[in-house]
Amino acid sequence: MFTLAHISDPHLGPLPRPRVRELATRRAFGYINWHRNRARAYRPRILSDLVAAIHAEKPDHIAVTGDLVNIALREEIRRAAEWLEKLGPPADVTVIPGNHDAYVPGAARAAREAWKPYMTGDADGRLHYPFVRRRNQVALIGTSTARATAPMIATGHMSRRQLEELRLVLAGLRSEGLFRIVLIHHPPLHGETALHRRLIGAERFRRIIREAGAELVLHGHNHTRTVQTIEGNDGPVPVVGVPSASNEGGGGKYAPAGFNIYRIERRGGTFACTMTEFGLTNANGKIERIGERRLRP
């Protein structure tokens, strides 16, 4: 059996003091938003408790689907690298970027360089999307939808080159008989995602999943618990989102902090996958197990 923990959107705080020139961009909007809203919602203590709960489950691997930082200051990116070291070694933790990690032009490149050991495939260690990490009978496929956008816009984008390579990668991994998990920051199914936060061209991504197949798609971005499906040629592909890993909740539109554990095992010629949900409960303010569901029989 292989166990995978999935967290997303830790939005590490507190926000470092920026230099004046660093605010001469859309960062000024994000800086104000942090102090007016996000600083009250995203708590380092909650994130620390959540990471401790993950480590208590002893997963084989941890996937982080983006938005480690808030406005992508250089100091934020450096601190995020230190946080990743505490989360686990690069061989046991896979990271992909979110839109906040690419908040301004050049930020995505700085984040990739700082977090490189966690964001590269097994083959050659180069920074490239999609990348593949094989663990036991599982293949983790890292993608990027992160790009700098205008103020108040949080859309994602995946290039045609990346999409075509994703198609080839999924087809190749299928021939190897591996359980394929695609990591993507923006939800590929829009649901209640607002227009200014959507994945542009999501239908192209869904078409590749339908045609080439996958066993599981994991995302973040919306800060909510969701389980949806993409109808594939071999049956429905579960698409799962998790809340922010540091959100205090408190009755707002976003779910309190949480993570999922996936238990994957081969049964004959097929795979079974069970998801256990953990989250911050209002009853006692602790991270606790809150439910379980079977994603694949």
pLDDT for the residue numbered 161: 96
Question: 205: closest CA among 192, 217, 221, 193?
Answer: 217
291 touches 281 (CB < 8 A): no
pLDDT for the residue numbered 12: 97
E strands, the chain, are 2-7, 61-64, 93-95, 131-135, 138-142, 156-157, 179-183, 199-200, 216-219, 226-232, 235-241, 258-267, 270-280, 287-296
pLDDT for the residue numbered 283: 61
DSSP states of 211-240: HH--SEEEE-SS-S-EEEEEEETTEEEEEE
How many domains does the structure of the chain reveal?
1
- Would the pTM count as exceeding 0.85? yes
pLDDT for the residue numbered 122: 92
| SS3 at position 265 | strand
pLDDT for the residue numbered 251: 56
E strands, 84-129, are 93-95
How far is 21 from 184, CA to CA, in rounded Å?
32
Q: What is the pLDDT along the chain (297 residues), one digit of tens a residue?
A: 999 999 999 999 999 988 888 887 889 989 888 888 888 889 999 999 999 999 999 999 999 999 999 999 999 999 999 999 999 999 999 999 999 999 999 999 999 999 999 999 998 778 899 999 999 999 999 999 999 999 889 999 999 999 999 999 999 999 999 999 999 999 999 877 889 999 999 999 999 999 999 999 999 999 999 999 999 888 899 999 999 999 997 656 788 999 999 999 998 889 999 999 999 987 678 999 999 999 988
Q: Omega into 236 within 30° of 0, i.e. cis?
A: no
pLDDT for the residue numbered 252: 66
The CATH number for 221's domain is 3.60.21.10
pLDDT for the residue numbered 38: 86
Identify the domain containing residue 261 by its residue range. Answer: 2-296
Using CA atoms, how far residue 62 sits from 43, 95, 100, 107, 116, in Å, is 21, 9, 20, 24, 16
76 touches 69 (CB < 8 A): yes
- For 32, phi then psi, to 5°, come to -65, -45
| SS3 at position 175 | helix
**Residue 260 amino acid letter:** N
pLDDT for the residue numbered 18: 86
Question: 46: closest CA among 97, 82, 11?
Answer: 11
pLDDT for the residue numbered 186: 98
